[in-house]
Structure 1
Amino acid sequence: MSRFASFREFYPYYLGEHRNPVCRRLHFAGSTLVLLAVLLALLARDWRWLLLAPVAGYGFAWVGHFLFERNRPATFRHPLYSLMGDWVLYWQVLTGEQKL
């Protein structure tokens, strides 16, 4: 059972778990690679590129959490909200609302 009633309630917690700038940068890099893998899969019409997406996305993020943030990724307890948080943070970095 989640202790968060909504994503709006979860997101401040998510940001608190991503205070370290290196962790944020690794998340951003991994998310960018996910987008590139999806784009390559579409352009090359080769679904095998999609195998790179979870490796890049989670790999970079988990390195950030375990080595720099020194916490347990929220993905383990709140997978959907965590995934949503990754993309909201990504967009906010692109638009300048959040800093890397």
Structure 2
Amino acid sequence: MFVSHFNSFAEFYPYYLSEHRHPVCRALHYTGSLLVLTVLTVSLWAEQYVWLWALPFIGYGFAWIGHFIFEKNRPATFSHPFYSFLADWVMLKDGILSLLGCKTPLDNISI
């Protein structure tokens, strides 16, 4: 499913989820995002700013492995960078809420 234009993030997010059906792909996204938060926090706390350069490689590296190896599709980042960045954090939030038993948009996707 490729849609070239979205009028809002609300239109984009279901498309984003459709590109993340494989649970390993989502798990790799979550891992990358949580590692980004960890490295960011530790770098700022320890005033070791040199590690900040690694953040994009950590976040996108895990995500792209998920897409190319498990999902077998092209990351939405290439065509919709801003919405994709935002959607990754929303998907992480939804994943955490889903683990806590809350109903989320993730409940509606399947492999």
Aligning the two structures, in what range does the TM-score lie when normalised by the shorter sequence?
A: over 0.9
| Aligned counterpart in structure 1 of residue 27 of structure 2, from 25, 39, 43 | 25
Q: Deviations over 1:48-90 (max 9, x none)?
A: 1212211110000000000000000000000000000000000
Tell me how far apart the structure 2 counterparts of residues 31 and 48 of structure 1 sit (CA, whole Å). Answer: 19
Structure 1 partner of 2:94: 92
Structure whose alpha-carbon radius of gyration is higher: 2
Structure 2 partner of 1:8: 10
Structure 2 partner of 1:56: 58
For structure 2, which runs of at least 5 residues remain unmatched after alignment?
99-103
Moved runs in structure 1, 4+ residues, more than 3 A?
none
Q: Secondary structure at the match of 2:63?
A: helix
For structure 1, which runs of at least 5 residues remain unmatched after alignment?
none
Identity rate, percent: 55
Aligned pairs, number: 98
Tell me how far apart the structure 2 counterparts of residues 49 and 93 of structure 1 sit (CA, whole Å). Answer: 27
Q: Quote how far apart the aligned CAs of 1:34 are.
A: 0.4
Per mean C-alpha deviation after superposition, the further-off stretch among 44-53 and 23-32 is 44-53
Q: Deviations over 1:16-59 (max 9, x none)?
A: 00000000000000000100111011111111121221111000
